[in-house]
Structure 1
Amino acid sequence: MKTVITFGTFDVFHVGHVNILQRAASLGDALIVGISTDELNFCKKQRYPIYNQRDRMKIVNGMRYINLCFFEESLEQKREYILKYDADVLVMGDDWKGRFDEFKDICEVVYLERTPSVSTTQLIEVISSSDR
Structure 2
Amino acid sequence: MELIKKSILTELYLSGITGKSHIDNLTKKGFTQKLIDLEIDELIKNKLVKEDRSALTELGRSSLRVVLAGGVFDIIHPGHIYTLNAAKSLGDVLIVVVATDNTALKMKKRQPLHSKEQRQELVDSLVMVDLCLIGQEDDIFKTVNLVKPQIIALGYDQVHQEKFIIDGCKKIQLDAKVARLQSPIPESSSSKIQKEYGESIHGI
- Same fold flag (TM > 0.5): yes
Residue 110 of structure 1: aligned partner: 179
SS of the residue 2:178 aligns to: strand
Residue 81 of structure 1: aligned partner: 143
Whose radius of gyration is greater, 1 or 2? 2
For the pair 1:129 / 2:199, whether they are aligned, the reply is yes
1:62 aligned to which of 125, 131, 135: 125
Counterparts of 2:117 and 2:131, CA distance in 1: 14
Higher strand share: 1
Superposed displacement of residue 45, structure 1? 2.5
Residue 20 of structure 1: aligned partner: 83
1:90 aligned to which of 152, 155, 161: 152
Give the TM-score, by structure 1 length. Answer: 0.89
Higher helix share: 2
Give the TM-score, by structure 2 length. Answer: 0.59
Gaps of 5+ in 2: 1-63
State the percentage of identical aligned residues: 24
Counterparts of 1:34 and 1:103, CA distance in 2: 14
Residue 35 of structure 1: aligned partner: 98
RMSD: 1.7
42-51 or 57-66: which moved more? 42-51
Q: Is the Cα–Cα contact under 8 Å of residues 7 and 35 in structure 1 kept in the other structure? A: yes
Bigger relative contact order, structure 1 or 2 (CA pairs below 8 A, ≥6 apart):
1
The residue identity in structure 2 corresponding to 1:107 is A
Gaps of 5+ in 1: none
Counterparts of 1:116 and 1:123, CA distance in 2: 13
Counterparts of 2:90 and 2:187, CA distance in 1: 24
